[in-house]
Amino acid sequence: MAFVVQIINLLSQLITLLVILHIILSYFMSPYHAVRRAVDSIVEPLLAPIRRIMPQTGMLDFSPMVLIILVQIVARLLIGLLIAS
C-alpha cells in the first residue's frame, strides 16, 4: 500500500514539474526545439481540455495553474482513499 502511495506522490510531483518546465520553456525556447517539443507533447494533451472549458482571459493563460491544482487534488483524494481502505 505504501508503495502505491509513493507512486501517486511521485507522479503528481512529476506532472507538476513538467507543467512548470513547460511554462518556463515557453518563454525562452523556440517551439521547434526538441526539448520543448518533448515537454509539450506530454503537457499539452493535459492542458487542452482545461483550455476548452476555461474562458479566454486575453494574454494570460491560467490553464497550467488549474492543471497543477487538479493534479494535486486528485493525488490527495487517491491517497486518502487508499489509506482509508
Q: Is 82 helix (H, G, I), strand (E, B) or coil?
A: helix
How many Å apart are CA 22 and CA 37, to the nearest integer? 10
Q: Please report the sign of the dihedral spanned by the C-alpha atoms of residue 52, residue 26, residue 62, residue 50.
A: positive
What are 39-83's pLDDT values in tens digits?
999 999 999 999 999 988 888 899 999 999 999 999 999 999 999
The structural domains of the chain, with segments of one domain joined by +, span 2-84
**pLDDT bucket at 7, cuts 50 / 70 / 90:** very high
* Residue 24 phi, psi (nearest 5): -65, -45
> Among 12, 9, 7, 11, which Cα is nearest to 71's?
12
How many Å apart are CA 2 and CA 75, to the nearest integer? 14
- Segment 20-46 shows an average pLDDT of 95
Is residue 85 over pLDDT 80? no
pLDDT at position 30 is: 93
